[in-house]
């Protein structure tokens, strides 16, 4: 078939080998293609080295099939194919021409210089462009030189190109290493090699603990002071300056009251002790602390115990968490607390006392005490009712207390006391709870009543009040004193005044006795107006307010001539003395005269 026929035309009929970089002389015969044929054929050669660059390397005799080599061949550059043709059919005959590789390319590193850190495992890789699968396409690594040569550190390189080390690294001994690495191939005739340099930087770790070398500062602080630095600790550290392995971190032990804090000076690495809560000399004249120091980075150590010819060496290493690790340095410090003159402090800031109103003058109220006072005094006594003994703190009355005074709020009278240690003072508050006495009689709320005329009895209400509180107040008892034929109280325990129909319009005065729950009473004259309620809703006549211009008053020498001080307006039912009382206290005497 056509498919079978074309498949047969791709048979491999011969193979030849060219030695890479053969020096000639040129041209020389590589070989002749031998095929059985009973017809005339012509041979053509195609591919790299013939009709594709590099041109002119190979040629073929069209009639005999002899292949010629015209110049040196590089295996890494040349590929080609060949075919036979006759006059009627173009048939592809595969002829294999292989180039024998010679070892003319050494292993090549990707870079001339590598820089790595010991904290990372970096594998350097070499790239060989020789033919894969031949002996000279494999190679190995060797370390030729290490600088500096440190007794406790030995570098080696693995087949993969990963550089490792045995022993211990110490930044303070060598902060970097220069390693010369060579890659050597495995050529049959000759071995080729290349080299590269590897710089290994040793990053500093915390393998040296800080040491406290000295302490400076006054070592004392005044009681009550804060923000003061009484002490500075100096440390040394062999690790790299200003690195996390060098920076110190201090810890305070034994500070029961949390009075201190310690900060690290970023420049000197000193520990600066500072007072953040005030100290009290009375609680102790000295404070003993223990301060330890470590670094920001965890501590580790490494020590070579035994070197071996094979495998890794025996080393002792660990961190500060291990039993064999280093222990933070510490020091005991003593801070002296200096006494100052403290202000007196009362044992109790607020005290409660209980006293009955109207107690006799000189009655003992309470005693206050303070630490280290020179004297006691009353700082604020609104009504001037008490005094305090300057030496003992005993509080007694100098006036009778009145529960109904405006200075008493919710039955409590408040005074302030000072303990004095010049120039400083301490303050305490004394609450005097004033208990009530029945020292006030009930009284009518108003002294005048209105009653309407009627053919039948009419009623009006009488209301009373008492400045005392229960049980010295209401309910009140009312009793009519006289004029029983015209008026009556119905019943006696109410405040209803009943007018007899025989009482005509006009002004009347009645006497009423008002008693509280304990029997204390007062007798009052009440003005009663009887009127025709059909004319007005009550018996009051609504007149225009009267304007009064009071007498002018001035202290001697204050005014050259008298001038108007104030104009007041009062209604017809107001009293002049009431109006005067509402003015400045300078009118009190005039009001008293008006009342008399």
| pLDDT exceeds cutoff 60 at 291 | yes
Q: Choose among 270, 271, 267: nearest CA to 289.
A: 271
pLDDT bucket at 264, cuts 50 / 70 / 90: very high
Q: How much is the pLDDT for 8?
A: 40
Task: Give the model confidence (pLDDT) of 5-25 as tens digits.
Answer: 334 444 556 777 777 777 788
| pLDDT exceeds cutoff 70 at 183 | yes
Task: Give the model confidence (pLDDT) of 234-253 as tens digits.
Answer: 999 998 899 888 999 999 99
Highest mean pLDDT pick, 103-112, 153-162, 229-238, 536-545: 229-238
Query: What DSSP string runs through 94-150?
Result: EEEEEEE--S----EES-SEEEEETTS--B--EE--SPTTSGGG-EEEEEEEEES--
Residues comprising the chain, all counted: 596
Q: How far apart are CA 136 and CA 184, in angstroms?
A: 10
- Range in 31-45, 56-70, 341-355 with the lowest mean pLDDT: 31-45
- Paired residues of 96 in beta bridges: 15
Dihedral sign for Cα atoms in the order 276, 277, 278, 283: negative
Q: How far apart are CA 410 and CA 454, in angstroms?
A: 47
Mean pLDDT, residues 19-42: 78
Please say whether the beta carbons of 89 and 74 come within 8 A: no
Please say whether the beta carbons of 344 and 421 come within 8 A: yes
Domain boundaries, the chain: 2-100, 108-201, 211-338, 345-435, 443-531, 546-595
Mean pLDDT of the residues in the chain: 78
pLDDT bucket at 542, cuts 50 / 70 / 90: low
Q: What is the pTM of this model?
A: 0.47
Q: How far apart are CA 494 and CA 456, in angstroms?
A: 20
Please say whether the beta carbons of 501 and 456 come within 8 A: yes
Mean pLDDT, residues 427-447: 82
Q: How much is the pLDDT for 586?
A: 46
Mean pLDDT, residues 64-80: 75
CATH fold of 345-435: Immunoglobulin-like (2.60.40)
How much of the chain, in percent, has pLDDT values that exceed 90? 22
H/E run at residue 215: strand 211-216
Sheet of 424-435, strand order:
350-356, 424-435, 412-421, 375-380
pLDDT bucket at 569, cuts 50 / 70 / 90: low
Q: Which CATH superfamily is domain 211-338 in?
A: Cadherins (2.60.40.60)
Task: Give the architecture-level CATH label for domain 108-201.
Answer: Sandwich (2.60)
Q: How far apart are CA 580 and CA 343, in angstroms?
A: 49
Q: How far apart are CA 510 and CA 508, in angstroms?
A: 7
Q: How much is the pLDDT for 9?
A: 45
How much of the chain, in percent, has pLDDT values that exceed 70? 74
- Paired residues of 97 in beta bridges: 16
Kindly indicate whether the domain formed by 443-531 is annotated with CATH number 3.40.50.620: no
CATH fold of 2-100: Immunoglobulin-like (2.60.40)
Dihedral sign for Cα atoms in the order 223, 224, 229, 233: positive
Task: Give the model confidence (pLDDT) of 302-343 as tens digits.
Answer: 888 999 888 888 888 776 555 445 689 999 999 999 988 777
| 2-100 and 443-531 share one fold | yes
Mean pLDDT, residues 26-47: 79
Please say whether the beta carbons of 336 and 300 come within 8 A: no
């Amino acid at each position: 078939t056509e498919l079978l026929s074309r498949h047969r035309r791709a048979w491999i009929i011969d193979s030849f080998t060219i030695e890479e970089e053969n020096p000639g002389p040129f041209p020389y015969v590589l070989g002749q293609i031998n095929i059985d044929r009973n017809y005339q054929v012509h041979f053509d050669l195609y591919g790299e080295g013939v009709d594709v660059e590099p041109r002119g390397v190979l040629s073929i005799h069209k009639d005999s099939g002899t292949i010629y080599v015209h110049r040196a061949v590089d295996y890494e550059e040349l590929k080609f194919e060949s075919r036979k043709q006759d006059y009627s059919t173009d048939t592809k005959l595969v002829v294999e021409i292989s180039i024998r590789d010679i070892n003319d390319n050494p292993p090549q590193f990707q870079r001339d210089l590598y820089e790595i850190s010991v904290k990372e495992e970096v594998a350097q890789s070499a790239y060989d462009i020789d033919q894969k699968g031949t002996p000279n396409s494999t190679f190995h690594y060797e370390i030729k030189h290490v600088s500096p040569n440190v007794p406790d550190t030995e570098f080696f390189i693995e087949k993969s190109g990963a550089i490792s080390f045995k022993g211990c690294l110490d930044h303070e001994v060598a902060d970097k290493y220069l390693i010369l690495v060579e890659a050597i191939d495995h050529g049959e005739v000759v071995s080729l090699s290349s080299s590269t340099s590897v710089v290994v930087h040793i990053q500093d770790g915390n393998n040296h603990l800080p040491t406290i070398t000295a302490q400076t500062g006054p070592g004392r602080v005044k009681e009550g002071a804060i923000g003061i630095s009484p002490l500075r600790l100096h440390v040394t550290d062999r690790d790299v300056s200003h690195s996390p392995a060098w920076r110190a971190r201090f810890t305070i032990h034994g500070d029961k009251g949390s009075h201190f804090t310690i900060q690290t000076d970023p420049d000197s690495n000193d520990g600066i002790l500072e007072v953040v809560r005030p100290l009290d000399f009375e609680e102790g004249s000295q404070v003993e602390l223990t301060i330890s120091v470590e670094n920001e980075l965890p501590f580790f150590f490494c020590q070579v115990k035994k070197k071996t010819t094979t495998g890794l060496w025996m080393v002792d290493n660990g961190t500060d968490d291990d039993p064999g690790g280093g222990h933070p340095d510490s020091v005991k410090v003593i801070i002296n607390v200096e006494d100052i003159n403290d202000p007196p402090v009362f044992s109790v800031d607020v005290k409660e006392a209980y006293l009955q109103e109207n107690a006799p003058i000189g009655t003992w109220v309470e005693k206050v005490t303070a630490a280290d006072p020179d004297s006691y005094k009353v700082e604020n006594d609104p009504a001037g009712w008490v005094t305090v003994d300057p030496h003992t703190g005993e509080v007694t009355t100098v006036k009778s207390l009145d529960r109904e005074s405006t200075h008493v709020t919710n039955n409590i009278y408040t005074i302030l006391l000072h303990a004095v240690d010049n120039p400083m003072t301490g303050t305490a508050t004394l609450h005097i709870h004033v208990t009530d006495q029945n020292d006030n009689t009930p009284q009518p709320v108003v002294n005048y009543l209105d009653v309407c005329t009627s053919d039948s009895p009419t009623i009006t209400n009488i209301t009373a009040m008492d400045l005392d509180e229960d049980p010295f107040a209401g309910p009140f008892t009312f009793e009519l004193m006289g004029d029983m034929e015209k008026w009556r109280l119905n019943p006696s325990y109410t405040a209803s005044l009943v007018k007899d129909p025989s009482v005509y319009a006009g002004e009347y005065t009645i006497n009423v006795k008002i008693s509280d729950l304990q029997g204390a009473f007062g007798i009052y004259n009440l003005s009663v107006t009887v009127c025709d309620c059909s004319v007005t809703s009550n018996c009051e006549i609504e007149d225009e307010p009267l304007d009064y211009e009071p007498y002018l008053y001035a202290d001697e020498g204050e005014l050259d001539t008298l001038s108007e001080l104030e104009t007041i307006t009062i209604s017809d039912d107001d009293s002049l003395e009431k109006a005067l009382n509402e003015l400045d206290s300078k009118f009190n005497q005039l009001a008293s005269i008006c009342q008399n």
